[in-house]
Amino acid sequence: MTTSSDKPFKDDRRTFLKSATAVGISLGLPSTDARSEMSSGNEAQATAVDSPDRDGYTPEQRKRYFVDAPGSDFMVRVLASLGIEYIAVNPGASFRGLHESLINSSDSAKPQIITCLHEEQAVAFAHGYAKVTGKPMAVACHGTVGFQHASMAVYNAWCDKVPILILGGNHRDAASRPFPVLWDHSAQDPVAAIRDATKWDDQPASLQHFAESTVRAYRVAITPPMGPVAIAIDSDLQERPVDGDPQIPRLSRVLPLQGDPGAVHEAAAQLVSAEAPVIVVERYAGSQEGINRLVELAELLQAVVIDRGARMNFPNTHYLNQTFIQAQHLAQADVILGLELTDVWGLIQQGRDRSEPPVTIRTARADVRVITIGTADLFVKSNYQNFQRYSCADIPISADAQATLPALIEAVRRLMTPQRSSTNTPRAARLRDSGNRMRAALSTEARYAWNARPVSTARLCMEIWEQIKSKDWALTSPTAFKASWPNKLWAMERHYQYIGDEGGYGIGYGCPASVGAGLGHRAHGRLAVNIQGDGDLMYAPGALWTAVHHQIPLLTVMHNNAAYMQETMLIQAMALQRRRGVTQDKVKVGTEIDNPRIDFAALAKSMGMWSAGPIDDPRELREVLRRAVAVVAGGEPALVDVLCQPR
């Protein structure tokens, strides 16, 4: 059995073709002999039934009491064939068969169990892991209450276009449910609870069906636009002996879709002729190669790059990265190139909050031309509205942006005239100047409230930076609620140094996703850092235990502002609009996380984690962080609780 499933899910076409050649894949062409493309997954089964019993049981007794080759052993072999290294588990009776096989089956390549204390944490864990490693991991959960618990995290992964293989147990046969609880944990359609946030699902009726559907699901998950997939696994199928000789089909990857050559040429022509081109990038780069290509394109055009921060797309040390003065560039742009955007509408206009009637305000030039390259339109569902407001680009190219960039770069080079190239020098000088001024201004802004108590968010981030900047570090948590200070002040240049945010703004992501990301970084010896909101942590504090239990090194620094601060601001705005009850004693009702103040250091300590704090004096931070980093460098997680300013 050969797969290329250990490749990053954002493979470029060249890598893909090489690997496809190596394993002899015939792309998109089904074999005339299906058996020839499958390997036996049932080597262990053949000898069991008729051989003499070691404990003296008769064949009838053996059949009554024992199962020698359970179906779930085969299921584990299917997972191993896909190169899945880990499976995040919150235990449940409906997949007890699979669970036992994961522990005791003989397959040496079987996935390792990661124990999670909630299904939502398990899925978020897999979410963070996939964004670091570039490949999906599996999650196992109950098909009913487990799917329901998992649903918010699945939605985040769906919005964030991250592949996860979710397995949910089910007791499909009503005649095989001897206890009431099994009825409570059974469903006609268990995946219904999460279907709106998955790309594909199935409920296989046989092991052969399971093998084919699981391999199919994996391929669907890693084909852009990527996303979570789900397989309901029947308990009888897991627990009964393997019937027949089911085969595991070979995984073949789908070529990342490249943009239409004519449209790419037209896009290049628009960009070359532009006087103020701007590139806006969101869920684009899946590898360092993707970043390097974008740098090449931006330098060719001398185009400003605005990184919306859903991935690490472009070095923030590069002078063309002018994300933090984006409004002025978008207002002046004559051509905007959007790469893997969700909100195209918002490129050129904005709405107004609390406006009656709704107002749309144009923020870009009337004659701006918009080009988009992305996979968002290739797979759309109806219920959840994360597809954003409809907007028609002038040149919309439905394709994988990273796979399309080589062709776009080539087209731009062909169209570059000496006259056009000569404009790059003065343009570069201007942009270097504005980029330098932006960076200087950000450094200056960070100094305000430098000695404040509670600690300013900028000071917190700079104290962390002092401790990690000489190491191979990676930030695992979102930064939007930390005023994006890490993106403003830290030097982010490598593709793994930042992995974006939740995707769907669903809270409870930060800690488990960071622990999952930390697992991905562990293999590379990187120092993983999680700047953790207090409200977010309390959705999923059990993830700290998972980090300790599995010895996942991760530095967690609490940004503890003792509130759901964004919601506090929302209530404040509502009260002000209604001109009543605007003071803190009112607007913090239901939004503060205080009285009592949560002792996060004690919480972490209770789960066996090294911890310190709470700290509200910035002068104490350096030494405490130094000690915490030393703990993490030694292979263990650590938590430092810091009382911080709201933002």
Binding another protein (rule: CB under 8 A), the pick from 50, 60, 353, 367 is: 353
Binding another protein (rule: CB under 8 A), the pick from 44, 415, 548, 575 is: 575
570 lies in the binding site for another protein (CB under 8 A):
yes
Q: How do strand 360-362 and strand 247-249 relate by DSSP bridges? A: unpaired
Query: Which amino acid does the sequence have at 392?
Result: C
- CA separation for the pair 31, 50 (Å, rounded): 35
Other CB atoms within 10 A of residue 551 CB: 11
User: Closer to another protein at the Cβ: 413 or 453?
Assistant: 453
Give me the least distance between CB of 370 and another protein, in Å please: 19
DSSP state of 184: H
Contact 526, 473 (CB under 8 A): yes
Taking CB under 8 A as the binding criterion, the range among 32-40, 211-219, 266-274, 566-574 that sits at the site for another protein is: 566-574
User: Closer to another protein at the Cβ: 529 or 587?
Assistant: 587
User: Closer to another protein at the Cβ: 193 or 411?
Assistant: 193
Q: Which of 465, 454, 441 is nearest to 531 (CA)?
A: 465
Binding another protein (rule: CB under 8 A), the pick from 582, 608, 627, 636 is: 582
393 lies in the binding site for another protein (CB under 8 A):
no
**Contacting another protein within 360-379 (CB under 8 A):** 361, 363
Q: Which of 313, 314, 304 is nearest to 438 (CA)?
A: 304
**Contacting another protein within 402-461 (CB under 8 A):** 439, 442-452, 454, 456-458
- CA separation for the pair 219, 120 (Å, rounded): 23
The neighbouring-strand residues paired with 530 are 556
Per-residue binder mask for another protein (CB under 8 A), 146-185, x = binder: --xx-xx--x------------------------------
Residues with Cβ within 8 Å of residue 425, at least 6 apart in sequence: none
Give me the least distance between CB of 607 and another protein, in Å please: 18
Q: Give kind and range of the element (H or E) at residue 557.
A: strand 555-560
User: Closer to another protein at the Cβ: 423 or 451?
Assistant: 451
Binding another protein (rule: CB under 8 A), the pick from 568, 618, 624, 639 is: 568
633 lies in the binding site for another protein (CB under 8 A):
no
- CA separation for the pair 504, 523 (Å, rounded): 28
Other CB atoms within 10 A of residue 333 CB: 26
Give me the least distance between CB of 596 and another protein, in Å please: 20
490 lies in the binding site for another protein (CB under 8 A):
yes
Give me the least distance between CB of 631 and another protein, in Å please: 24
End-to-end CA distance of the chain: 52
Query: Which amino acid does the sequence have at 397?
Result: I
Give me the least distance between CB of 146 and another protein, in Å please: 12
Per-residue binder mask for another protein (CB under 8 A), 287-326, x = binder: -----------------------------xx---------
Taking CB under 8 A as the binding criterion, the range among 133-141, 234-242, 415-423, 578-586 that sits at the site for another protein is: 578-586
User: Closer to another protein at the Cβ: 69 or 515?
Assistant: 515
Give me the least distance between CB of 306 and another protein, in Å please: 12
Establish whether the linkage from the previous residue to 225 is cis, with ω within 30° of 0: yes
336 lies in the binding site for another protein (CB under 8 A):
no
350 lies in the binding site for another protein (CB under 8 A):
yes
645 lies in the binding site for another protein (CB under 8 A):
yes
- CA separation for the pair 403, 12 (Å, rounded): 6
Give me the least distance between CB of 638 and another protein, in Å please: 24
User: Closer to another protein at the Cβ: 258 or 487?
Assistant: 487
Q: Where are the beta strands (DSSP E) in 353-469?
A: 360-362, 369-374, 395-398
User: Closer to another protein at the Cβ: 1 or 449?
Assistant: 449
**Contacting another protein within 460-489 (CB under 8 A):** 462, 465-466, 480-485, 488-489
Q: Which of 563, 559, 564, 562 is nearest to 642 (CA)?
A: 559
User: Closer to another protein at the Cβ: 37 or 445?
Assistant: 445
Coil vs helix vs strand at 238:
helix
Per-residue binder mask for another protein (CB under 8 A), 587-626, x = binder: x---------------------------------------
327 lies in the binding site for another protein (CB under 8 A):
yes
Taking CB under 8 A as the binding criterion, the range among 96-104, 345-353, 393-401, 514-522 that sits at the site for another protein is: 345-353
Binding another protein (rule: CB under 8 A), the pick from 354, 357, 383, 390 is: 354
Q: How do strand 360-362 and strand 349-351 relate by DSSP bridges? A: antiparallel
Contacts of the segment 449-452: beta carbons below 8 A, 24+ positions apart: 449/645, 450/618, 451/618, 451/619, 452/618, 452/645
**Contacting another protein within 492-531 (CB under 8 A):** 504-508
DSSP line for 316-366:
TTSTTB-GGGHHHHHHH-SEEEEES-S-SGGGTEEE-TT-SS--EEE-S-T
Taking CB under 8 A as the binding criterion, the range among 55-63, 356-364, 428-436, 606-614 that sits at the site for another protein is: 356-364
Q: Which of 463, 430, 447, 437 is nearest to 557 (CA)?
A: 463
Taking CB under 8 A as the binding criterion, the range among 174-182, 367-375, 547-555, 571-579 that sits at the site for another protein is: 571-579
Coil vs helix vs strand at 484:
coil
**Contacting another protein within 114-153 (CB under 8 A):** 118, 120, 148-149, 151-152
- CA separation for the pair 99, 96 (Å, rounded): 5
Query: Which amino acid does the sequence have at 590?
Result: G
User: Closer to another protein at the Cβ: 316 or 546?
Assistant: 316
**Ranges of H-type helices in 360-423:** 401-415, 418-422
Give me the least distance between CB of 352 and another protein, in Å please: 5
DSSP state of 455: B
